[in-house]
Structure 1
């Protein structure tokens, strides 16, 4: 029986894309092992380490078939690479079989194959991340001047623009993008140093093989073995989880904006798939919830990788087993979150009037800082802060306006120009700071 959201046919479509599921699926994992074994033979043939004619035979016959997958899946060996080797060798003419996997150890092949999967997975994520950033850039420009209320700690704070919110989301994603671009070089590294990482079976030839193999497969060359040094993989898992949290931040904001009592954002939904079995009127924002859940599951898996027992001495399979289980799932959860958000933004609209209503509802108290900054040069910052705090209390209890409150404070003795400045300070559009400029700058790619 399939266990978990990613394995069950009932739930998997809500969390992952077929594209990423294929990259980290069983068949593609086997395909990458076959690819590495074939590339290894080709490089060794070119360098004269094994006879070129045998290398050509291995390359010709080491390819993916349904029969190969079936044989590997039916293998009764604890080490999955041994089962794969047995199946690959069975496809190759007997005269060349002895040169398959020449000078390598199982972990060399598994790590290198996984590095190829990492590159493929990162290619998919990068394309979707670029598309999502492009969507946010477009929205930032379109809503650079769309007035709305900013909230801090869940409370009305100051006026801002919707474009500014998009700009903030976009920059966070760009930072995640930069982290992953730097990380992938340290995570997608070649591994070809032999049983204990000493190159004992291949010597200097082994280094040349590793260099040529890295170039052929598009991986980073590293002469020092990393069988027991999983820092690159761990860093990748953590940075993928950080990207997930950034996606969840966007999703959580959009979840709140779609609440019935807020209604600032609206997703076009199929009532049959997003509604309630008991309440026919409901349109539940399931997309944002799926994004958040994907992010949390990825974070939990990354934490598992981060806290796994470090590999003892030159290699320790406990660490590798944790990584093998978690890495592909982290990729699929992050890809699922990206895919969901991309789909959401194609169906999302924003109610400009509702956004403005939030500013109206904030009233004069929303402009408290603006008013305080007009008074501060005249009576001092602390006195201005205390005065506006007292005004806020009076307005909440008595409904008094700022003009009425100031008029009652004969101790202030404000000039006519100061009173005029206070009235101007109550205009939300006069206190947007750099919101509009920042949103436009981000939209322009600055």
Structure 2
């Protein structure tokens, strides 16, 4: 089972990602790697140059006899041999040099990682769009005052732009993490049956390096088929990427509730939220992000168990990793596409945020008052004083300002106007606005860099 889909799935532009989950993409990648292998072997004198040219010319997806492939599959019971036999027949006399000196997993794993790399590039392009969206949100809401919350309760005031800056920082970390993994994850592994280059001998490492160069990958230092830690590392990175999206979705899901009313998802006329309640507008994008992200978090667990299988290769491990990687990619695709649309069309209700910031009648600014008093009495004494007054206001019908003014020390130290000013949420947002602007700029710069770095994408 892959991603969790609903009606929103059909309306989202997928940047060409879902094509890479098809059988056609799989077969095209196998052919592509087999051709690159033949070209590399010929270039190093391991097979005739004429054969490599013929393979390059004839090894095409359109030339494969899939009916014959299915017939062979039923007879031999091997998932890759039918492809090799049909591809060899397609290439005529040069076909005897197809799959020369390598084993199934050399081609399958290299092509799988090639596909993942291409999907990863498209993920980066979606992330660049998310960063564009967040850059705009942070800048346009750098001064939009709202309650900061800790443990589900009001803390001190912030701006919505500051909150968005936190989302941006998460994605910047995700990008760094994924890019740092590229050299370990996207490797070619042309090592033969067990990774010791038994069939190719001294040609083996050279062929592996050249194949990697032509594929714009790195050669696996020891092309052992049972080394899987890098795949788990990549799945873990995808999980952390999903948490960045999940966090946004969770906040939108919660604060779009009428009692908060601070944000809402983009709504398109004609969208129906309930078959019985005509008024319902549900957070469809957020729910899909949350559900798919939380399903993703459990995927790498199985990989840890499978990565410890003994000996130089194990087909049960190969089978499981293929499924886990594919499921991870499908889940992250749904998460990222929904996050892009959510951040692009998010409705920010500034008036409601301001109302919520004032809902406690100035209590949220208790720290501000305390720090003013601390300048004269010290932090501990000031905290004790303001704590007592804050609790008194919480437990009585008196307004916080009146409670403060009833205190002789405060009344003699500050004017009524000064205390009123200290209780205004917009007067105590710290560096929220500055941080929002700073990270808006960072998001835009990183977005532009991603578009440049990942614009070159392979089409099979």
Please give the range of the TM-score, normalised by the shorter of the 2 chains: over 0.9
CA–CA distance in structure 2, aligned partners of residues 268 and 22 of structure 1:
27
Give 2:230's match in structure 1, choosing from 229, 232, 236. 232
Match of 1:61 in 2: 58
Superposition deviation, residue 64 in structure 1:
0.4
Equivalence for 2:37: 40
Structure 1 match to 2:455: none
Using the TM superposition, give the Cα deviation of residue 376 of structure 1 relative to its aligned residue in structure 2, in angstroms: 2.1
Q: Distance between the aligned counterparts of 2:152 and 2:104, measured in 1?
A: 54
Counterpart contact for 2:4–2:291, Cα < 8 Å = no
- 2:404 and 2:410 in contact (8 A); partners too: no
43-52 vs 392-401, greater mean Cα deviation: 392-401
* TM-score for the superposition, normalised by structure 2: 0.89
Instruction: State the shift of 1:352 in Å.
Output: 0.9
- Determine the structure 2 residue equivalent to 1:185: 183
CA distances 1:129-160 after superposition (whole Å, capped 9, x unpaired): 01111110111111111111111111111110
Q: Are residues 315 and 132 of structure 1, via their aligned partners in 2, closer, same or farther at CA, if it must alter by over 3 Å?
A: same
Secondary structure (helix, strand or coil) at the match of 2:306 reads: coil
Cα pair distance change 1:82/1:413, threshold 3 Å = closer
TM-score after normalising by structure 1: 0.92
Answering whether residue 304 of structure 2 is matched by residue 330 of structure 1, we say no
Q: Residue 80 of structure 2 corresponds to which residue in structure 1?
A: 81
Is contact 1:15-1:294 (8 Å) kept? Answer: no
Go from structure 1 to structure 2 and tell me whether the alpha carbon gap of 1:324 and 1:12 turns closer, same or farther (over 3 Å shift). farther
Q: C-alpha separation between the residues in 1 aligned to 2:192 and 2:322? A: 20
Q: In structure 1, which of residues 30, 34, 44 is the aligned counterpart of residue 27 of structure 2?
A: 30
Q: Which runs of 4+ in 1 moved over 6 A?
A: 7-12
How far apart in 1 are the matches of 2:166 and 2:410? 42
CA separation of 1:443 and 1:356: change in aligned 2, threshold 3 A = same
Greater RCO, CA 8 A, separation 6+:
2
**Cα–Cα, structure 1 residues 123 and 381, in superposed 2: closer, same or farther, change >3 Å?**
same
1:275 to 273, 297, 300: 273
Question: Are 1:375 and 2:373 counterparts?
Answer: yes
Contact 1:32 1:113 in 2 (8 A): yes
The structure 2 residue matched to 1:435, chosen from 432, 435, 448, is 432
Do 2:43 and 2:49's aligned partners in 1 also have CA atoms closer than 8 Å?
Answer: yes
Instruction: Count residues with an aligned counterpart.
Output: 441
Are positions 1:102 and 2:100 aligned together? yes
What is the Cα-based RMSD across aligned positions, in Å?
A: 2.4
- The 3-state SS of whatever aligns with 2:394 is helix
Q: Cα–Cα, structure 1 residues 46 and 324, in superposed 2: closer, same or farther, change >3 Å?
A: same
**DSSP 3-state at the match of 2:219:** coil
| Aligned counterparts of 2:258 and 2:63: Cα–Cα separation in 1 | 52
- What displacement does 1:51 show? 1.1
Counterpart mapping for 1:219-298 below 5 A: 219-270=217-268, 272-298=270-296
Listed as ranges, the gaps of 5+ residues in structure 2 are 446-460
1:91 aligns with 2:90: yes
Relative to structure 1, the CA distance from residue 67 to residue 429 in structure 2 (aligned partners, 3 Å threshold; closer, same or farther) is same
